[in-house]
Structure 1
Amino acid sequence: MFKRYLSLDVGDVRIGVAKSDIMGMIATPLEVIDRRKTKAVMRVKELCEEHNTKSIVIGIPKSLDGTEKRQAEKVREFMEKLNKKIDGLEFIEIDERLSTVSADKMLQNNGVKGAINKRKTVDQVAAAIILQTYLDMKR
């Protein structure tokens, strides 16, 4: 059975979003939700409907020693809000250690210059890295 996934890289200001292909093999950056300008829970709900998914892979921030950071609690609070708005939503937690660092390096290596351009892109690329990690693990 084929299954499409969304992935979230939840931050205080922005949420990076990525999606999988219908086969559940390839992750692609989708968008960045600016939490200051958009009702993030409603936007994620719209994306779930638009991409016909009930499964969200979500990055849980951890320290290099594997302990969870304070942000992990905030991510779980956001998951609870989503769970109240979207019936039957499945959450798959993935260690997101260094996903933003990897995304930043990837963008730098691909010639994306300037802090504004990187900020607009790095979160959705980090979400794609989180999702691709999960997709590769489940194969």
Structure 2
Amino acid sequence: MSGVRPGVRLAVDVGRARVGLAASDPAGSLAFPVETLPRSSDIVGRIASEAAERNALEIVVGLPVSLSGGDTPSTADARDVAAALAAASTVPVRLVDERLSTRSAQSALHSAGRTTRSSRSVVDQVAAVIILQHALDSERSGGRPPGVVVEPN
């Protein structure tokens, strides 16, 4: 079994109205929710600041693709945010496949007794946790960092 590079990761679930953030522990073992930010013109600066404050090893951005692996209406938006983050941050930014992360987050919250309405403020954080935990598990099992490194704009 391969290891995971030590270091905190910050994960981003990019949405049209909100952006969910999650982080890992310093060992890169466990992902946990951080916060949900309203989508604003300074979202990239806020995420880059959070990564710097946490001394993050990298930023992982979820790439929403269809079940068949094709682009969705949100794919270009996530790519644009990731490229802007790569330009604004001093750490690498990686795009990772996030198929079904929001649905999985909604399902998990529903199973915990939360309604869709009461979950709105945290569903993006939970989706970011799912994206990050998948990335950590993928690195652990494959021995390589997950996803694709994004080049700055």
**TM-score scaled by structure 1?**
0.91
- Asked whether the 8 Å contact 2:6–2:26 carries over to 1, the reply is yes
> 2:67 corresponds to which residue?
64
> 1:10 corresponds to which residue?
14
Matches for 1:90-109 after TM superposition, within 5 Å:
90-109=92-111
**Alpha-carbon distance between aligned partners in 2 of 1:63 and 1:113, rounded to the nearest angstrom:** 25
- Asked whether the 8 Å contact 2:8–2:27 carries over to 1, the reply is yes
Q: What's the RMSD between the two structures over aligned residues?
A: 1.4
**Alpha-carbon distance between aligned partners in 2 of 1:114 and 1:132, rounded to the nearest angstrom:** 23
**Alpha-carbon distance between aligned partners in 2 of 1:97 and 1:57, rounded to the nearest angstrom:** 14
> 1:111 corresponds to which residue?
113
SS at the partner of 1:70? coil
- Asked whether the 8 Å contact 2:82–2:95 carries over to 1, the reply is no
1:131 aligns with 2:135: no
Moved over 3 A (4+): none
> 2:147 corresponds to which residue?
none
CA offset digits 1:95-123 (Å, max 9, x no partner): 111100000010011112350x2110100
SS at the partner of 2:29? coil
**Alpha-carbon distance between aligned partners in 1 of 2:18 and 2:70, rounded to the nearest angstrom:** 23
**TM-score scaled by structure 2?**
0.83
Aligned length: 136
SS at the partner of 1:93? strand
**Alpha-carbon distance between aligned partners in 2 of 1:54 and 1:7, rounded to the nearest angstrom:** 11
Q: Which amino acid aligns with 2:22?
A: A
1:51: how far off? Answer: 0.9
Matches for 1:49-60 after TM superposition, within 5 Å:
49-60=52-63
1:54: how far off? Answer: 4.0
> 1:40 corresponds to which residue?
43
